[in-house]
Amino acid sequence: MLNKKIIGSIVIIVALAGTLSGIAIFNYYLNTFEGDRTITDFLGREIKVPHAANIDRIVGVNPGCLRLLVYIGAEALVCGVEDIERLSQSSIGRPYLYAHPELSNLPSIGPQFGGDAELILGQNPDVIFITYGTIEEANTLQAQTGVPVVALGYGDYFGDLQLDYFFDSLDLLGNILDEQDRAVELKNYINQLIIDLCNRTEDIPPGEKEWIYVGGIGHQGVHGIASTDCQYEPLKYINGNNTASLIEGCTGHVFINTEQLFQWESQNQLDYIIVDAGGYGLCLQDLQNKSAGGAGLLNCIQANPPRAIMTLPYNYYTTNLGTVFADAYYLGKQFFPEEFNDLNYTNGRVYDEIYEKFVGKGVYAYMETDFYGGFHNITRMEIDEYGSP
């Protein structure tokens, strides 16, 4: 317990200051003297945090942080969210908000990409979690609020998931919030999915696989057919032939020149186009035959029916890992039906089982409703009539 003289001094400080800095000083002393433990966060910072039993209120800022808190099962502790999680359409594309709509009704802690220190402090969190932050940003927020700020990680760059970083973040959250069992459970489940997908497809000769290009990948905004990913995980996990992987030196997201699609097709390295639903509208405009040399003139699009399919968007305020695996199992069924014919896809059952493991509820019906009927083959009429009055 704090010494009464210290408490008295702190109260005087806060009363005199009456500002954010005064409250931060109070929080600093409170967090310093009440039996803290020291942890090392994703940025290598050593921070004192309360014991799990004393953590009742938490917030997460920056892309994917709230999602991580839901993945670890700590949604009941969240006391405020960034504005992007509260907007009327904020849940679209984010399974964790479909599963836990109550999060969208929590008080605001400020705008996306970091929130606002004063609004964060107004919710009186015991710990603040942050993703995609620098050491300076984490230290500044901690100094402004007097609350421990713990950095978590997804990958080196926004939108580029790295599973080892993701797993480390689950372990760190599990340790801080006493959810170690949940961290182990989710990591094991992810590894089981990866192994299952690989085992089903690894023995298929490369020459028997279609070449597939993925367009419309979200990357700090919505984009059309030229936005792709050389390491598109849903294809990678089923050992698919990703046309964009042919780009020399490419390791992640990239924008291509549309002319490159025609070159790949002429070299028999483009058989199908996948449209990520996040860029659906822009992609369908690109695939309409309205301009000479446009993507709509590709043989695979001119075919009847077009060799194009739509997958669900996985990159909404960084990676929704559950959707990555839902996409992978859909593509497995599409391109390797014999290898996936033992699974029950009726009414999206396979996808709901995945979502339930990640966010606690099967939410495919929401994704289906909000994204053009969910997984489907794109028709000629669908392309030609998009955008028509």
Would you kindly state where each structural domain of the chain is located, as residue ranges? 35-153, 188-385
Distance CA 265, CA 261 (A): 6
Q: Kindly report the length of the chain.
A: 389
Nearest to 53 by CA among 176, 145, 155: 176
Q: What is the pLDDT of residue 33?
A: 38
Distance CA 18, CA 223 (A): 47
Confidence of residue 168 (pLDDT cuts 50, 70, 90): very high
Q: What is the pLDDT of residue 219?
A: 82
3-state secondary structure of 90: coil
Nearest to 175 by CA among 13, 270, 267, 52: 52
Q: Identify residue 46 by its one-letter amino acid code.
A: E
pLDDT 10s digits, 326-377: 999 999 999 999 999 999 999 999 999 999 999 999 999 999 999 999 999 9
CB neighbourhood size of 361 (10 A): 14
Confidence of residue 90 (pLDDT cuts 50, 70, 90): low
Domains 35-153 and 188-385 share a fold: yes
Distance CA 175, CA 179 (A): 6
DSSP 306: -
Report the run of H or E that residue 139 belongs to, with start and end. Answer: helix 135-145
CATH no. for 188-385: 3.40.50.1980
Tell me if 103 sits within 8 A of 85, measured CB to CB.
Answer: yes
Task: Flag whether pLDDT at 24 surpasses 90.
Answer: no
Task: Flag whether pLDDT at 49 surpasses 80.
Answer: yes
Tell me if 306 sits within 8 A of 300, measured CB to CB.
Answer: yes
Task: Flag whether pLDDT at 89 surpasses 90.
Answer: no
Task: Flag whether pLDDT at 28 surpasses 60.
Answer: no
Q: Is the pTM of this model over 0.85?
A: yes
pLDDT above 90 covers a percentage of the chain that reads 77
pLDDT 10s digits, 98-143: 999 999 999 999 988 888 999 999 999 999 999 999 999 999 999 9
pLDDT 10s digits, 208-238: 999 999 999 988 788 999 999 998 999 999 9
Q: What is the pLDDT of residue 299?
A: 96
Report the run of H or E that residue 59 belongs to, with start and end. Answer: strand 58-61
Report the run of H or E that residue 181 belongs to, with start and end. Answer: helix 180-201
Query: Tokens representing 47?
Result: 């921070």
* CATH class entry, domain 35-153: alpha beta
Query: Tokens representing 60?
Result: 């997460």
